Copies of this chain bind each other. A is one copy, B any other.
Amino acid sequence: MYDYQAPLRDMQFILSTIAGLDEIAALPNCEEASNDVVSAVLEEAGKFAAGVLAPLNRVGDIQGCRLADGVVHTPEGWQAAYDQFREAGWVGLALPQEYGGQGLPKLISTPVWEMWFSTNMAFAMLPQLNVGQAEALQIAASEEQKQIWLHKVVSGEWGSTMNLTEPQAGSDLAATRTKAVPQEDGTYKLFGQKIFISYGEHELTPNIVHLVLARLPDAPAGVKGLSLFIVPKYLLDAEGNPSTRNDVRCISIEHKMGIHGSPTCTLSYGDEGGAIGYLVGEANRGLETMFIMMNEARFGVGVQGVGLAERAYQYAVNYARTRVQGRDAMTGETGLPIICHPDVQRAILSMRARVMAMRSLLYTAAGWFDLAHHHPEQAVADKYRRYVDLLMPVAKGWCTEVGNEVCDDAIQVFGGMGFVEETGIAQYFRDARIITIYEGTTGIQANDLIGRKILREQGATLYELMADMQHTQQMLAQSAALNNLAIHFQTMLGTLQKASDWILAQDKNQQAQVLAAATPFLYLLGTACGAWQLARLALVAEEKKADAAIDPIYSQNLIELTHFYFHTFGVQIAAYAETVNNAGTSLARFDFNQT
């Protein structure tokens, strides 16, 4: 209905200011990320997203995927678009040059992926899997395996999947039952069923590389008995080309509420004697490697949150500018577009504020990834590795929840037309609903945040991060123009600090109380991080008002957006803190035998 406009100005502004593009470009192995290259990449990606991916989004939704005789048919246009995508080198944009990638920093690939997700998330999930798998293979695979598989994955010539879930083992991988039986030739035969496998089967690539979690016969119970295997759809001949069909088949695809263009497959391994697989890394250490892939995927799902939200926001703004209804509350003037009504303005601003908060947080975190990987000083690299680890569940959990909220608000701006499928915004709402679920639900992210990321290290990184936030607060306080923001941000930080103290003060036998607080604490921290990043943006915007190269309206609007966010979302932090402190008590006293 409305063309996608890549938000290049916002992207460039964030990259070049708070996300630290210059600093990243100065890192070893990141030298290519010059301002010129970045501009060119973003511009090209914007054209590709708008010109190739966006027009296919609704096609994918309407046609969906079809399984016939074991073959999954993707929507019309998928093949041509994927070929173009692959040939343009987008798959390996941020993957190592050593394996055929372009080696750009994650800071650059993040806005690019945002554009893919904005315009066609169901499609973009296919190459997204390659990126995650490439990260995992790079770390865990043998040199020989890398030579055989990794180049094809990085180039996108072959597809990738990750196979974790089984019917009885959704979020609980300890319950995994798929077996891997060692063969005399050093390979393995796999037997079992995997469900919810995105792009588990399709004809878009001549081969598919499945990464599969399975158990060796002598493996210990639980997650410490999981090993990781490469199981190709087609076994390779002596030249490394796909030849014999392996014993893995798609036996059904899901009928889902959204992302219809992305086939969600049930894969059956070993129905005809065993699917041949190759052990990746050490036996029984499979989960650690899979977590590399999953962490990459989790960050990517967070980016899906801002991608979907940005496009939904664009839809809403465009509709609000053109839909004429009602009259001005003050003057009685009629014939005005609905963007003139205060309630619609409030909705628009609340969407844009959250989009910019998410984007600022995710791009900043992408820069931390790069610092963690490439900074020559170990202490600096370590610090940002800790930041990334701490905030991964927030980037995933919070940005996906907020992404859904923004899509929901966009429908509301459309009114009745939002509920009608033809306008296209309904698809965003339906598609978005998966992102708080896959790669670990929000609840699982919250438990990860509390358990692995905070309690396990007694909150060390969290307090380190809070000190950085406090530094931003001091800069606000020193700015006469932003002093009001400083006061409010101080309140938020005080609340975050108290809630964090409370979590760390609970002793072991109060763990249920702490876990009852996990999701509200994730919202609290996410909302505070969003406020932090917008505050950093406001500081830059205030400074840039004197810069003739920057449109002063743009800068002023960023500052107003920050005020709006503080008074609309920042103020919810106190409520989350109350829930953190009290939810567990209610749970303990409520008798769940009688709901």
Q: Chain A residues in contact with chain B, CB under 8 A?
A: 165, 168-172, 174-175, 196, 254-258, 317, 324-327, 329-330, 334, 339, 341-349, 352, 404, 408, 411-412, 415-422, 426, 429-430, 433-434, 436-438, 441-443, 446-447, 509, 511-513, 515-516, 518-520, 551, 553-554, 556-557, 560-561, 563-564, 567-568, 571-572, 574-575, 578-579, 581-587, 589-595
Take A334-B174, A443-B343 as given contacts and tell me if A419 and B594 are in contact as well, using a CB distance cutoff of 8 Å.
no
Take A334-B174, A557-B594 as given contacts and tell me if A571 and B574 are in contact as well, using a CB distance cutoff of 8 Å.
yes
User: Of all chain B residues, which has the CB nearest A562?
Assistant: B586
Kindly identify which residue among B344, B348, B592 contacts A339, using a CB–CB cutoff of 8 Å. Answer: B592
Can you spell out 28 A-B residue pairs with CB atoms less than 8 angstroms apart? A172-B327, A196-B416, A255-B421, A256-B420, A258-B419, A339-B592, A341-B443, A342-B587, A343-B518, A343-B519, A345-B592, A346-B519, A346-B587, A349-B590, A352-B595, A412-B441, A415-B441, A416-B438, A553-B593, A553-B594, A556-B591, A560-B589, A563-B582, A563-B586, A567-B578, A571-B574, A571-B578, A574-B574
Separation of A422 and B420 alpha carbons in the complex (Å): 22
Separation of A339 and B511 alpha carbons in the complex (Å): 16
User: Which of A404, A438, A575 is packed against the most chain B CB atoms within 10 Å?
Assistant: A575
Kindly identify which residue among B516, B553, B571 contacts A346, using a CB–CB cutoff of 8 Å. Answer: B516
Is A343 a contact partner of B595 (Cβ separation < 8 A)? no
Separation of A217 and B70 alpha carbons in the complex (Å): 65
CB A444 to nearest CB in B, in angstroms, measures 8
Take A412-B437, A419-B437, A515-B329 as given contacts and tell me if A443 and B556 are in contact as well, using a CB distance cutoff of 8 Å.
no
Take A329-B511, A516-B343, A589-B560 as given contacts and tell me if A419 and B257 are in contact as well, using a CB distance cutoff of 8 Å.
yes
Kindly identify which residue among B415, B434, B509 contacts A330, using a CB–CB cutoff of 8 Å. Answer: B509
Kindly identify which residue among B417, B422, B437, B520 contacts A255, using a CB–CB cutoff of 8 Å. Answer: B422
Give every chain B residue within 8 A of A330 (Cβ-Cβ). 509, 511-512
Give every chain B residue within 8 A of A590 (Cβ-Cβ). 345, 349, 557, 560-561, 564
User: Of all chain B residues, which has the CB nearest A441?
Assistant: B415
Separation of A426 and B343 alpha carbons in the complex (Å): 29
CB A312 to nearest CB in B, in angstroms, measures 13
Is B343 a contact partner of A515 (Cβ separation < 8 A)? yes
Separation of A196 and B419 alpha carbons in the complex (Å): 11
Separation of A511 and B426 alpha carbons in the complex (Å): 32
CB A421 to nearest CB in B, in angstroms, measures 5
Give every chain B residue within 8 A of A511 (Cβ-Cβ). 329-330
Is B437 a contact partner of A415 (Cβ separation < 8 A)? yes
Separation of A574 and B567 alpha carbons in the complex (Å): 11
User: Of all chain B residues, which has the CB nearest A488?
Assistant: B578
Is B519 a contact partner of A587 (Cβ separation < 8 A)? no
Separation of A595 and B509 alpha carbons in the complex (Å): 50
Give every chain B residue within 8 A of A172 (Cβ-Cβ). 325-327
Give every chain B residue within 8 A of A586 (Cβ-Cβ). 349, 560-561, 563-564, 567
CB A223 to nearest CB in B, in angstroms, measures 11
Is A568 a contact partner of B595 (Cβ separation < 8 A)? no
Separation of A330 and B511 alpha carbons in the complex (Å): 7
Besides A343-B515, A415-B441, A419-B437, 4 other A-B contacts (C-beta < 8 A): A330-B511, A345-B590, A349-B590, A557-B591
Give every chain B residue within 8 A of A170 (Cβ-Cβ). 325, 415-417
Separation of A434 and B434 alpha carbons in the complex (Å): 20
User: Of all chain B residues, which has the CB nearest A316?
Assistant: B595
Separation of A430 and B408 alpha carbons in the complex (Å): 11
Kindly identify which residue among B325, B443, B509 contacts A347, using a CB–CB cutoff of 8 Å. Answer: B443
CB A5 to nearest CB in B, in angstroms, measures 11
